[in-house]
């Protein structure tokens, strides 16, 4: 409640939604567990 929904999720474009979700996932991992991305980028 009270949260705004990103426009991409309302668009219905499944490819854009998948891309957005992937980007959000990487961003969250970067913030919470950066060492996991360091290992993956080696």
Report if residue 28 sits inside a domain: yes
- Model confidence pLDDT, tens digit, residues 21-37: 999 999 999 999 999 99
Q: Of 41, 17, 16, which Cα lies nearest the Cα of 30?
A: 41
Does any domain span residue 21?
yes
Number of folded domains that form the chain = 1
- Range(s) of the domain holding residue 32: 7-40
Please give the pLDDT value at position 3: 92
* Per-chain mean pLDDT for the chain: 94
Cβ-in-10-Å burial (0-12, 13-18, 19+) of 32 comes to: exposed
| Contact by Cβ (8 Å): 37, 29 | yes
Residue 35 is assigned to a structural domain of this protein: yes
Residue 1 lies in a domain: no
Would residue 34 count as lying in a domain? yes
Residue 41: is its pLDDT beyond 90? no
Instruction: For residue 33, tell me if it sits in a domain.
Output: yes
Q: Report the percent of the chain where pLDDT is more than 90.
A: 83
Q: Is the pTM higher than 0.95?
A: no
Asked, for residue 19, whether it belongs to a domain, the answer is: yes
């Amino acid at each position: 409640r009270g949260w705004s929904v990103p426009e991409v999720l309302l668009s219905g474009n499944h490819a854009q939604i998948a891309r957005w979700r992937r980007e959000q996932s990487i961003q969250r991992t970067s913030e919470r567990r950066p060492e996991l991305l360091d290992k993956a980028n080696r």
